[in-house]
Structure 1
Amino acid sequence: MEHQQAIQVLELIKRNMESCIFGKKDEIMWLLTAIAAGGHVLIEDVPGTGKTQMVKALAKSIGGEFHRIQCNPDLLPTDITGVSIYHPKQEQFVFRPGPIMANIVLADEINRATTKTQSALLEAMEERHVSVDGVTYPLPKPFALFATQNPIEFDGTYTLPEAQLDRFIMKISIGYPDEASEKRLLTEPNAHRSADGLSAVASIEEINDIQRIAEGVHVDSSVVDYLLALIRGTRNHASVLLGASPRAGVALAACAKAYALLQRRTFVLPDDVKTVAPLVLEHRLHLRSEARMQGATPSSVLQQVLRQIPVPVGMER
C-alpha cells in the first residue's frame, strides 16, 4: 500500500463511521489517529453519549473482530484472557480464548474491575500477548483496546494506576451532540441506525499497512526537539508531581505522525504535535496537591507549557 492509498482508506473509514455517528467528526478523527498509531484509547464520558457505538462502528468499518467486556468487581483475569480446560477425549488441556483475543476490544467501565483483573489487561496492552497457565498466546494484529469510564459515578470503582494510564495512547471525551445532530436523532426515522448494520470498507491487512505507513511519516529534527521540550517541560513545571514519561514522548510522536497522515501529509508539523498533545499528555500528568487546591488542572498546566515552548520554524520536508 502506498501513502495515497492509505489516505483514501482512512477517508473511507471516516465516512462510514460518520454515517451512523452524528456530529462527532473530531472524535472519529481521534479514534482513527489512535488506530493508525497502533495505540489504545481511554474514553471518559457520561452514559448515553455513544461510546460503545463509536468503537463498534470502527470495528465494523475495518472488518475486524470485535469483543465487548463488561467490567465489574466479579470479573476474573481468566474471564478476559481465556482458560485452559481439560479435554477428556484428547487427554490434554485445551486453551479456550477469552474476549481479549480480538482486533478491537471494548472494556466497558474499566474502573469497575479489580486491580488484579486490570493487571491482565495491562499485560495485553503492553506486551500484545496474554499468559495462561505459563503459556504465552499472541494477540491478533492489529489489536486495540478501547476502555470507557464514567467521570461522575465513583461508587464501587477502582482508580486506574498510573502505569495503566500511561499505556493509553490517548484519553478522549465524546461529549453531548450539538443541537442539530441531536435534533436529527429525535426526528429522522433512520437516525438510530446501529453500527451493527455497517459494512466493512477496509480490511485488517490494510490497517496493518496503514500503521506501517504512519510510522514512516517524516519528522524533522527541529520537530523532534520541540516535542522533547514539551515532554521535559511537563516534568519541570512547578505544579507537576509526575510529568510525562519517555513512553509519553513515543506516544506523542506516533500520534503526531498518524494525525499528519490523516491530514494528507507525509511530514509532521509542529501544529500536529500541539493538536494531539492534550489528548496524549493530560491524563499522564499528576499535579501536586497544593496546585490542585489552587485550581490548577492538567489541562491548564499543559497549556502553560505549550505557550512557553517556542515553535520551530524553517523545517526540512
Structure 2
Amino acid sequence: MPLIEARGLVKDFHRPRRRTGRFAGLRTLVSRERETVRAVDGVSFSIESGELVGYLGPNGAGKSTTIKMLTGILTPTAGEVTVAGVVPWRKRQDNARNIGVVFGQRSQLWWDLPLVESLRLVGKLYRMPRTRYEENLAKFVELLDMRPFLDTPVRQLSLGQRMRGDLAAAMIYEPAVLYLDEPTVGLDVIAKERIRKFVADLSSTSGTTVLLTTHDMDDVEALCERLILIDHGKVLYDGTPAALKDSYAPQRELVVQLASPCEVTVAGARTVESGEGVVRLSFDPAETPAAALISELFGNYPVTDVSLQETDLEDVIKKIYAGRS
C-alpha cells in the first residue's frame, strides 16, 4: 500500500462575485452572489515509502493547497487521500504524528526561546522517550551544524540557521513523511547545500518519504528522483526528470573547440552556432549517440576540446508552462 495516496482530489474556494462599473464596491458588499474558484482539480498520485518527490508548478497551480489537504489543514471538496493509512482531516492528531512540515516563510519554533528549548518542547509534545530524543538531537546537531547557535533565541537566528532549526523540529520525532514547501527560499549557497545534504541523507538512511515544493530547480536536480508537475490544479506529468527531458526536450548539444576555425558538417547533428573556433552542434542522442559524433569530429577536424551540454531542467519546465499559457 502506498504511504501517500490521493485519488481525484478537488478543492474549491468560494468568494464574493466581483462587480465592475459604478457602485461596484457597494454592490459587492451587499450582494450574496458567490463565485467558485477551483484550486485543485482531480489530482491523483501515489507515493511509496522512501520516495523523494518534487511537486512542481507555477504560482497558483495548486501546490500549497494540495499540501494543506495532505497535512489535514484543509478538507477537500471531493476525492480521497490517505497518509500512512490515515485520512488527514478526519484524524488530525494521528496524522500529525506521521508527518513533519517545513514552510519556508513560517516557523514552528518559539520566537523568544533558545533553539534547544524549542526542540525540547517539540520532543515533549510528541511524548518522545528522553533517550530517543537526546540521540536524535545529537544526530541533527551534527548533521545540520547547529552547535554554535543552539542556545541562541530563535528571534536572533539568521534565516539559514532558523531553517536548520525548523528541519530539526520537523524530524526530531521521526515522522514517516516530510513536507517541504520552499525550504531554501532566501538562503545563501552554503546554507542551501547543507539543507539539501540533510534531506538527501534522511531519504537514503532513514527511509523518510519527502514531498518537496519549490521554484528552485537546483533543489530539484540535486534531490528528486521523481517529479509531479501540476498547472491549474491538474497533473500534467508524473515521472522521472530524465524522462521529462527526453519527452519535451530530446535535443542535446556538443560544444566543440577547434585549433583553427573551419566549417564543420557531421551527419546526425545540426550546427546552431559557429565562430571564433567554437562550434555548437545540436543532436538527438536517441538517433545519434554522442560517442559516434565525438569520434567523427576527432577523426575529421582539428578538435582541441569537446563538451556535452545536458538539457537544463528549468528550461524544459519553462517550455512546458509557456506552451500551455
TM-score of the superposed pair, with normalisation by structure 2: 0.36
More relative contact order, 1 or 2 (CA 8 Å, 6+ apart):
1
Larger proportion of helix: 1
Q: Looking at CA atoms only, which structure, 1 or 2, has the larger radius of gyration?
A: 2
